[in-house]
Amino acid sequence: MKLNKNFKNLKENYLFAEVSRRVEAYSSAFPNSDIISLGIGDVTIPLSLKAVDACKDAAIGLSTKSGFRGYGPYDGYAFLKNAVVDYYKMRGVEIHADEVFVTDGAKNGIGNFLDLFDSDNTVMIPDPVYPAYVDANILAGNKIVYVNATEENEFLAMPPKKGKADIIYLCSPNNPTGAAYNKEQLKQWVDFALENDAVILYDAAYEAYIDDKSAVRSIFEITGARDCAVEFCSFSKMAGFTGVRCGWTVIPMASPLNRMWLHRQAIKFNGTSYVVQKMAESMLRGGYEDSKKMVAAYKKNAKIITDKFDALGIKYTGGIHAPYIWFNCGVDSWEFFDYLLKKARIVCTPGSGFGKNGNGWVRLTSFNSQERTEEAIKRFEPFWKEFIDVRDKLFTAVR
């Protein structure tokens, strides 16, 4: 038996597994410490009762002759696909139900999509970025080229003047930086993809957090995107489904990827459960107002964090179109992580875990409760003042 040799090219742990490992080590050493997680982007607001009612109704239905369901369609039930079509229509974007594929979340959708490509492709990925893209491509043995997202371009990587790509990953609003593309910026990526005969794999998992019309919610708002893009979306952050698991992928019908993905799903996936799809449908129909309230509550937490950062003069991005605040600590990100945990018992995510340009930066999420976010920020203020005093003496500077 020969193991996948690409495994050895991965870091020892996936980013969030490493964060958990360090937090667990700290908790076992100090079992009574009250740790607040502003680390992994996991939601805390309980599910909408609309979703719970849909779940109950579907489950009861399954116990009846007429409501029983066995295997579902590989691409998802029509009731959910149509709800997704209407969700796009509400924002002026026309897609067809045959272009919608229900998944068990955007992460799986994006990772599994690599099954459709040859390993002889050049994959372009912004740095910093959600680490699952990079790690999935390392596992597949693909050639990766990075495009820089830095303070200079407000953490929005733009197409390089020179250079070629076959597959391009974009995430907007961005995880981890919270930055979001506007129409002109995204049009440059679409033009670049069309010139290169490339596909854009567009992660729109945080689109519900977009505040105004200047930022783009779907790449299909951009002329030309139907000829080069695939969009991944999720109920996780808009409806609290991180544990429930449901998402969707939009693949234009004219693309060969549409039929290939259906074929791939038929081989490897028997669909998201009927009950979960009913819950998801409820959140795009009668439960949509509840979803908007959840998003608004997380954005309120983001504002609690950014107000304090403004007062402390901390440099940051995000928090407006996204549940992430990305701030500059100016020192090695893992050293900062350990210090913040030790001194304030707050968990963050070190920026270097998202790529080399992330070193010196830190990500906080607004997904904890308002009470815990307020408590974290109360602890953060004295912590930060003390940190500034010792920063030059104790830490590895990153400028």
Q: Would you tell me which residues interact with ligand MLT (CB under 6 A)?
A: 40-42, 107, 130, 175
Q: How far is the CB of 53 from ligand MLT (least distance, A)?
A: 26
Q: Which of 141, 118, 132, 218 is nearest to 169 (CA)?
A: 132
C-beta separation of 205 from 43 below 8 A: no
Distance CA 142, CA 166 (A): 11
The secondary element (H helix, E strand) that includes residue 250 is strand 247-250
CA distances from 162 to 16, 84, 185, 192, 204 (A): 34, 37, 17, 10, 26
Q: Which is nearer to ligand MLT, 107 or 345 (CB)?
A: 107
Q: Which is nearer to ligand MLT, 125 or 193 (CB)?
A: 125
Distance CA 329, CA 345 (A): 17
Distance CA 308, CA 61 (A): 49
How many other C-beta atoms are found inside a 10 Å radius of the C-beta of residue 147? 21
Tokens at 193, concatenated? 């993809």
Mapped onto helix, strand or coil, the DSSP state of residue 120 is: coil
Q: Which is nearer to ligand MLT, 137 or 196 (CB)?
A: 137
C-beta separation of 232 from 205 below 8 A: yes
C-beta separation of 229 from 193 below 8 A: yes
Q: Which is nearer to ligand MLT, 130 or 169 (CB)?
A: 130
Q: Which is nearer to ligand MLT, 171 or 186 (CB)?
A: 171
Q: What is the CA radius of gyration of the chain?
A: 21
Q: Which is nearer to ligand MLT, 196 or 236 (CB)?
A: 236
Distance CA 173, CA 208 (A): 9
One-letter amino acid of 28: S
Q: Which is nearer to ligand MLT, 105 or 159 (CB)?
A: 105
191, 196, 197, 198 alpha-carbon torsion, rounded to 10°: -80
The secondary element (H helix, E strand) that includes residue 358 is none
Q: How far is the CB of 315 from ligand MLT (least distance, A)?
A: 21
Q: How far is the CB of 102 from ligand MLT (least distance, A)?
A: 18
Q: Which is nearer to ligand MLT, 42 or 57 (CB)?
A: 42
Q: Which is nearer to ligand MLT, 107 or 299 (CB)?
A: 107
How many other C-beta atoms are found inside a 10 Å radius of the C-beta of residue 133? 23
DSSP per-residue string spanning 254-293: TSHHHHHHHHHHHHH---S-HHHHHHHHHHHTTTHHHHHH
Closest residue to ligand MLT, based on beta-carbon distance:
41
Please give the sequence-ordered ranges of beta strands (E in DSSP) within 56-196, or none if there are none: 100-103, 122-127, 143-148, 167-171
Q: Which is nearer to ligand MLT, 37 or 196 (CB)?
A: 37
Q: Which is nearer to ligand MLT, 205 or 216 (CB)?
A: 205
